[in-house]
Amino acid sequence: MAKRYAVLGGGGSFGIHTSKYLLDHAGTERVIAIGRNPPKPEPFTLNVGKGDKRYSYHAYHVTYELDLLLELLDREKPPVIINYAAQGEGAVSWKHSWRFFETNSMGLARLAEELMKRDWLERFIQIGTSEMYGSVDHPTTEDEPIKPTSPYAASKVAFDMHLLAVHKFLKFPMNIIRPSNAYCPGQLLHRVVPKAVICGLTGRKLPLQGGGRAEKSYIHARDLARAIHLVAEKGPLGRVYNAGPPKPISIRALVETVAKVMGMPFEQLCEVTADRLGQDSRYWLDSTAIKRDVGWEPQIGLEEGIKEMVEWGRKYLDQLKGWPTDYTLRA
């Protein structure tokens, strides 16, 4: 049976790719995308949903316009709500840290409390983060001790813990997916993969923090969208799922892959800079549970995904070359 989905954080690159995946694959009746801003220019929206009557985009802030957001949801009654909405970027969360808790903990707890009163809701899927496990020396399972090492990660942990409690005692229908670092065409340029691509295309040097020693796991946002759809279709309620590749990769090796795909020497692409505050040395997920329960594992190889990123960068270079490459904190 065709379903309605609401995608909160639907103006961000991962929300956009999830909306596209649902429109393309899922026998979807409708996708209601909700973001805090009006739509970005085409290089970031990729024209997803354009001309498709099943898709609509609405600008509401989950913290400051909850009443308007709930009015929309009550009109549309989506059985599945996917939540990407968050104050992101762990590296900058040491300053104005309360803003991260305001959205990622308090704002979302208020939303969840309201959603508990809605009998049309069948499943709420929260997109968590691998950062809440902290730095690890082995692939972490979902019951690993939580060790956040930034205010951002701590704020995400708080809402995860809240969801687990309200599911257990109040039967709130939810799942949590904790993905590894995702990348995709349309991603904002402060992220390492799009930033490396645009630096390569414009002859600028990518600042490689700490020489790129830190290791992270990377998946394409389309693989993440597929994980979400599989969990929405057949994941047992209340389960937490990691979603990542089998092995992490150093940031240096990641940037070397970008240089290789672009046919340029690594040294031409970047310069080494100081490490960032609170940088974890390795994020590494054990994704056995999601494979066992819903059959998910990543399908898009890193080199294939980066080729797609380079094609996107070339296509939209005129618009992207003047776009900021630093993160801007907003409410």
DSSP 8-state assignment for residue 282: B
CB 231 within 8 A of CB 175: yes
Kindly indicate the confidence band of residue 25, based on its pLDDT and cuts at 50, 70 and 90.
confident
58 φ, ψ (degrees, to nearest 5):
-135, 135
Q: What would the DSSP string read from start to end of 313-329? A: HHHTHHHHTTS--S---
Residue 32: burial class (beta carbons within 10 Å; 0-12, 13-18, 19+): buried
Q: What is the pLDDT of residues 268-319, one digit of tens each?
A: 998 877 665 555 578 889 999 999 999 999 999 999 999 999 999 999 999 9
* Contacting residues for 59 by C-beta, under 8 A, at least 6 apart: 11, 34, 35, 36, 37, 38
CB 223 within 8 A of CB 300: yes
Question: Can you identify the CATH homologous superfamily of domain 188-216+248-280+301-320?
Answer: UDP-galactose 4-epimerase, domain 1 (3.90.25.10)
Domain boundaries, the chain: 4-182+218-243, 188-216+248-280+301-320
Which amino acid, residue 137?
D
DSSP 8-state assignment for residue 167: H
CATH label, 4-182+218-243, candidates 3.40.50.720, 3.30.70.20, 3.20.20.70, 3.30.70.2190:
3.40.50.720
CB 178 within 8 A of CB 242: yes
Q: What is the pLDDT of residues 125-152, one digit of tens each?
A: 999 999 999 888 899 999 999 999 899 9
Among 110-124, 157-171, 244-258, 270-284, the least confident range: 270-284
